[in-house]
Amino acid sequence: MASTYTPLGVELQATGENAGTWGTKTNTNLQIIEQISGGFTQQSIAGGAQNTDLAVSDGSTGAVLSHRMIEFTGTITGNQVVRIPLDVQTFYILRNSTSGAYTVQFKYISGSGSSFTFSATDKGDKIVFAAANDGTNPDIKTLAIGTGISDVVDDTSPQLGGDLDVNGNDIVSTSNADIDIVPNGTGDVVLAADTVKVGDSGAAAVLTSNGAGTLTVTTGGTENLVLSTNSGTNSGTITITDGANNNIDLAPNGTGDVTLQADTVQIGDNNADATLTTQGTGDLILNTNNGTNAGNITLADGANGNIDVSTNGTGYIKFNDLAYIPQQALTSSSNAVAWDVQAKPNAFHLTTENTTFSAPTNSVEGSFVCLEINYNGSHTIAFNTVFEFAASTAPTFTSTDGKTDILVFRYNGAVWQEVGRTLNLSES
């Protein structure tokens, strides 16, 4: 009966065979077994894209596949495929020492099972297990070589030697535990993606600081920060405009409003003045209950625009405190006083010469003005004909040093009509 051979070339001698050579064959088998358990050999795969088939040499130590560690060498100018027979079932330590930026694939010669491929830049080591399976789907299973261990749960401080490829899978925790990403020192967590999503399906999402510190959201370059809903497709936005002294814009979608749901809304920076204004040429209107049943205050847009205070229905304008119109001085020049009644409706004049009050400017029909005249000497006073006095006769003004006359006028659209006078008052 003739000898048979294992898939890796070990000779199985038949009983009574090989008289006189049995010892030599046995020594060769022991050498093959030694190679299988720990032998090292090199295999050149130099050249362009090609298949390199590794065969078994029965009863010989020269077979590449009869070595535990195989080092691929040579300069490759195309992707390489190294193939092994279907009946080989063992593990190998593979080393890619080729030069050239091309892949090296290790697989069975046929079948649809898995394989292992060194990437074009991977010049490292790999443990592979040739599983053979049923010959139809023979698999090459891999395990990385390094300072690590076979199961990462046994490593209390694992380190990556390259990028972590999740291969379409998730990074998950168990028992509702957090997933902490903690850079060293002043290092940052960088999410290098155009879009970062938070939240679990349709559940509400919360972005918060981890502790009592301030949460700051900022851009890394000279671009605006835009906050929106539904990926910005049908929502309003909050835009924090990039650059020094730029605006924060709150822009609701369509006819939506900006609603501040607080009992008190404060504006202003510390003790500096605060300004509430419209962004365009529209009026500024203040009202209550969304304007459905309130009066309003309208600040009309444009130069010289009015401030209109309008009550609802039979409502009235109520002052719970003193209504105060500041008194402002009028001065004379060349025996005449110019009076802008819009700017100075409550005016006083300290005489320095004989004076005539000119026709007022910026008069508005229905408006009232008050004039106080303080005499600083015995000066005479006269008025333009646009001033209409009771009985069409001007009063005899005091014109006495240290005395005061007070007059009140109403404008009817044509003349200023006297509606009140108090003369010859003491100044103290």
Angstrom distance (rounded) from CA 350 to CA 118: 101
* CA 423 vs CA 59, 358, 376: distances in Å: 140, 21, 15
Q: What digits encode the pLDDT tens for the residues 51-109?
A: 999 988 877 888 888 888 999 999 999 999 999 998 888 899 999 999 999 999 999 99
Q: Where are the alpha helices (DSSP H) in 60-179?
A: none
Q: How far apart are CA 372 and CA 347, in angstroms?
A: 6
Give the model confidence (pLDDT) of 203-248 as tens digits: 778 888 887 788 888 887 788 888 887 766 777 888 888 888 888 8
Is the domain of 368 the same as that of 415?
yes
Same domain, 10 and 129: yes
Query: Does residue 337 sit in the same domain as residue 378?
Result: yes
Residue 319 lies in a domain: no
Residue 58 in any domain: the answer is yes
Q: Are residues 41 and 134 in the same domain?
A: yes
CA-based nearest residue to 383, from 412, 349, 424, 413: 349
Indicate whether 348 belongs to any domain: yes
The DSSP call for residue 34 is H
Q: Is 113 found in the same domain as 31?
A: yes
pTM for the whole structure? 0.47
> Residue 139 in contact with residue 154, Cβ under 8 Å?
no
Are 71 and 33 in the same domain?
yes
* 418 CB-near residues (< 8 Å, 6+ apart): 387, 388, 389, 390, 407, 408, 409
Does some domain include residue 307? yes
Pick the more confident residue, 351 or 16: 351
Domain count, the chain: 3
> Using an 8 Å Cβ cutoff, are 333 and 364 in contact?
no
Residues 290 and 421 in one domain: no
Q: Spell out the alpha helix ranges (H) of 184-333.
A: none
pLDDT class of 153 with cuts at 50, 70, 90: low
Query: Contact, 238 vs 232, CB < 8 A?
Result: no
Regarding whether 339 and 291 lie in a shared domain, the answer is no
pLDDT at 147 over 70: no
Query: Has residue 45 got a pLDDT over 90?
Result: yes
263-322 pLDDT, tens per residue? 898 888 778 888 888 878 888 888 877 767 778 888 888 888 888 888 888 888 888 999
Q: Please indicate, yes or no, if residue 250 is contained in any of the structural domains.
A: no
The kind and range of the H/E element at 373 are strand 368-374
| Rounded CA separation 343/363 (Å) | 10
In a domain, 235, yes or no: no
- Specify whether 9 is located in the same domain as 138: yes
Q: Residue 146: pLDDT band by 50, 70, 90 thresholds?
A: low
Classify residue 189: in a domain, yes or no.
no
Residue type, position 341, single letter: V
The C-alpha atoms of residue 40 and residue 42 are separated, in whole angstroms, by 7
On whether both 389 and 309 belong to a single domain, the answer is: no
Q: Which domain holds residue 301?
A: 276-313
Are the beta carbons of 98 and 75 closer than 8 angstroms? yes
Q: What are phi and psi of 31, to 5 degrees?
A: -65, -40
Q: Where are the beta strands (DSSP E) in 2-149?
A: 4-5, 11-12, 40-44, 50-53, 69-73, 80-84, 90-96, 104-108, 116-118, 125-130, 140-144
In a domain, 9, yes or no: yes
What distance lies between CA 14 and its chain's CA centroid? Answer: 78
Q: Which amino acid is at 325?
A: I
Residue for token pair 């607080």:
262
Question: Which two three-digit tokens encode residue 113?
Answer: 């099972």
Same domain, 66 and 122: yes
Q: Are residues 14 and 133 in the same domain?
A: yes
The pLDDT-based confidence of 156 (bands split at 50, 70, 90) is: low
> What are the phi and psi torsion angles at 94 (to 5°)?
-105, 140
Measure Cα distances from 362 to 340, 344, 365 in Å.
Answer: 6, 10, 10
